[in-house]
Amino acid sequence: MTTMTEASVREFKMPDVGEGLTEAEILKWYVQVGDTVTDGQVVCEVETAKAAVELPIPYDGVVRELCFPEGTTVDVGTAIITVDVSGGAAPAPAAPAQSAEPVAEEEKKPEGRQPVLVGYGVATSSTKRRPRKGPEVAVAQASTAIQTELNGHGPAPVASAVPDERPRPLAKPPVRKLAKDLGVDLATVIPSGPDGIITRDDVHAAVAPPAPAAAPAPVETPAVAAPAPAASYDTARETRVPIKGVRKATAQAMVGSAFTAPHVTEFVTVDVTRTMKLVEELKQDKEFAGLRVNPLLLIAKALLVAVKRNPDINASWDEAAQEIVVKHYVNLGIAAATPRGLIVPNVKDAHAKTLPQLAQSLGELVSTAREGKTSPAAMQGGTVTITNVGVFGVDTGTPLLNPGESAILAVGAIKLQPWVHKGKVKPRQVTTLALSFDHRLVDGELGSKVLADVAAVLEQPKRLITWA
């Protein structure tokens, strides 16, 4: 890495783009070494445990170095890009972050740099980059791997003796965390990084079945020896994906919700034919020109009316203070499935919005979520949530509460079904609603009233006027 002793070179460190987040993955670089950047220019996109966020740089100058390649998870406080603010041309890079050797780039350290986080201290003898391992070392390591593989079929002490003969493995904290998540013992991993440092690729390679690693053997016996083809076949049947980012945070939140709040779910099937007719009428209304008008808009409004009539549902449980916190505002969450996992952004102060304003807010929320641009702030402070499982053709479900909230409404598919209407069986637009609530602060009566009110509004949309 380029020396940082020059006064004209500034480091831009990974910021805490959320609240208390400790790391983020670099998804994409928008600049290259030698590019000129200006204060406020977006230089990269990163993914945290909550969302994908674009990072602007606070300097004017020329990009000197991209410290990590795309796909690298970097701790908060670690320099990710350096900029020469003197206005001079950047020197020719020795090896940019997107070079053909991303593993080596990930492990580079700045000369003379002081550790910025716990676990990032370096030995005094490592201030200069040591030469890469030559072919002889690589061959020796491969031979050791093959011999260990062969010995693995023998007595157990042969395999267990390898970690004991080696010193404590060298690896950065993110790599150690990855190994822990994947259940890999670092003492058994063969390092490929500079100075014997274990890289992320080394950890992933250790997860793969051992047979493909012994490359020379399968070439001679693919047609006659059954074990080699079987190992290759088994490898293709499974794909391991590290749990990180939004998906990891969602999993932790849902487990915490399921085993902290006692869930109760109630269901009601309702005729929403009149609501569907009103949706079509609103699409022709000049007040909604250019806005997204769909059943979700009126379902959201129906829930807001129900919350207004039953304000105690809009609350949270404060375990530390042993208090129920009743909210006098509604931040309406909308569960959205994105390529990076489930997120729940919310419309701030949805209770105070007119129907056209609510339509605009919902449209912007959904579009931003689909583009993966939802900010962490947009997903914080929700009070109640709607999840529309009907878009997947599902009739209903038992949704889990968004942490910190007391209720979530699931909306099933709206379908033509035979229904008794005015004494006759007719085809009507019907859906099933499911309301899950926290039974610590919402009893059956309150939960039932809220669900019944939502159903009543959707059955007779004129109640949006009479009950508002």
Residue numbers annotated as active site: 439
Exposure class string for 412-428: b at 16+ Cβ within 10 A, else e: bbbeeeebeeeeeeeeb
Q: Are 47 and 24 in contact (CB under 8 A)?
A: yes
Q: 444-459 and 273-283 helices cross at what angle (nearest 10)?
A: 60
Q: Are 332 and 275 in contact (CB under 8 A)?
A: no
Residue 441 DSSP class: T
Two tokens at 255? 């487990």
Q: Are 231 and 208 in contact (CB under 8 A)?
A: no
Strand partners, 317: 324
Among candidate residues 196, 195, 173, the one with its CA nearest the CA of residue 126: 195
Query: Which position has the token pair 């006659």?
Result: 224
Two tokens at 173? 């904290």
Strand partners, 266: 435
Residue 274 DSSP class: H
CA distance 202 to 425: 66
Sign of CA dihedral 155, 156, 162, 167: negative
At 129, which amino acid appears? R
Query: Which position has the token pair 């690693």?
Result: 213
